[in-house]
Structure 1
């Protein structure tokens, strides 16, 4: 399943990229992120791997991020692998004529388990909705300093 989502962030691209490129900021715009752990490679560079642990209600989800392309401030791509699912993301950042940043994310979900194939077939909108929500949460974090991190 492939789809694209986009959002315009009312901040200059260099400011957007600075916030996006800081792993400590992920908890502020990725709801449910419990922890992140560098696994291999040079952090933030092509080939680097990071384990991302999410708590979503009573479910725990672990993703392995692998950076596949880093051409900032224009492009950042990666793969995200979890049990039963492989996600390819291509992210593009464009400067608008107003001095804002347009973020375009092309996503491809490749289910590898029967259950995930069923979910992709029955609920394709849920995947797109989740991707868009992360983008909106990032926009709110960059523009207004709003964090989705839960108080501990």
Structure 2
């Protein structure tokens, strides 16, 4: 005769199945961090204003919080004459928590390109913005984003939040479009 009755055996089988599922999900979660080291995605918007005006507003730090509302403050740490190499400390409100990001300008070509590196909150992010004049005189603003993590656990989560990150960056570009098109600068 078995040491356990049928009810106990059924409960143990259910526990084993649940543990198996938990182990499988854990392995899958950690495998994400091993196989997916970084994310790349793009966003784009066409703005009904001329490129020089769009570029000027885009690079006005005092207007940044108009289209990225989470920004609480921007402090210049190193400011270079050619802009490239300039560094800033940006304080953002992330769902009620303040996070300080270091921003470094990796490339700056007037009326063509702004490439920024952000480090903070466990994420390393490069935003590469390009500006082009479209055939009808409007401005096409494109963004290619690359995101990595500086720790393994956060890296495991990156593939799970890629859609949210891409959606947020697209929303910022849409906010910028609305702000520029309503602006009289």
- The answer on 1:2 being equivalent to 2:50 is no
The structure whose residues are more often helix, as a share, is 2
- The answer on 1:51 being equivalent to 2:51 is no
Comparing 115-124 and 29-38, the one that deviates more = 115-124
Q: What's the secondary structure of 1:123's corresponding residue? A: helix
Name the residue aligned to 2:23: none
Q: Report how far residue 84 of structure 1 moved.
A: 1.1
Name the residue aligned to 2:71: 33
Greater Rg over alpha carbons, structure: 2
TM-score for the superposition, normalised by structure 1 = 0.90
Unaligned runs of 5+ in 1: 146-152
Name the residue aligned to 2:3: none
Q: What's the secondary structure of 1:45's corresponding residue? A: coil
Between the aligned partners of 1:44 and 1:50, the Cα distance in structure 2 is 15
Name the residue aligned to 1:87: 125
Q: 1:49 to 1:96 in 2, by over 3 A?
A: same
Q: What's the secondary structure of 2:173's corresponding residue? A: helix
Q: Report how far residue 42 of structure 1 moved.
A: 2.0
Name the residue aligned to 1:132: 170
1:21–1:44 contact (8 Å) kept in structure 2: no
Q: Report how far residue 118 of structure 1 moved.
A: 3.0
Between the aligned partners of 1:53 and 1:141, the Cα distance in structure 2 is 21
TM-score for the superposition, normalised by structure 2 = 0.74
1:44–1:67 contact (8 Å) kept in structure 2: no
Which 4+ runs in 1 deviate beyond 3 A?
A: none
Q: Report how far residue 43 of structure 1 moved.
A: 6.7
Q: 1:34 to 1:105 in 2, by over 3 A?
A: same
Unaligned runs of 5+ in 2: 1-38
Between the aligned partners of 1:35 and 1:44, the Cα distance in structure 2 is 23
The structure whose residues are more often strand, as a share, is 1
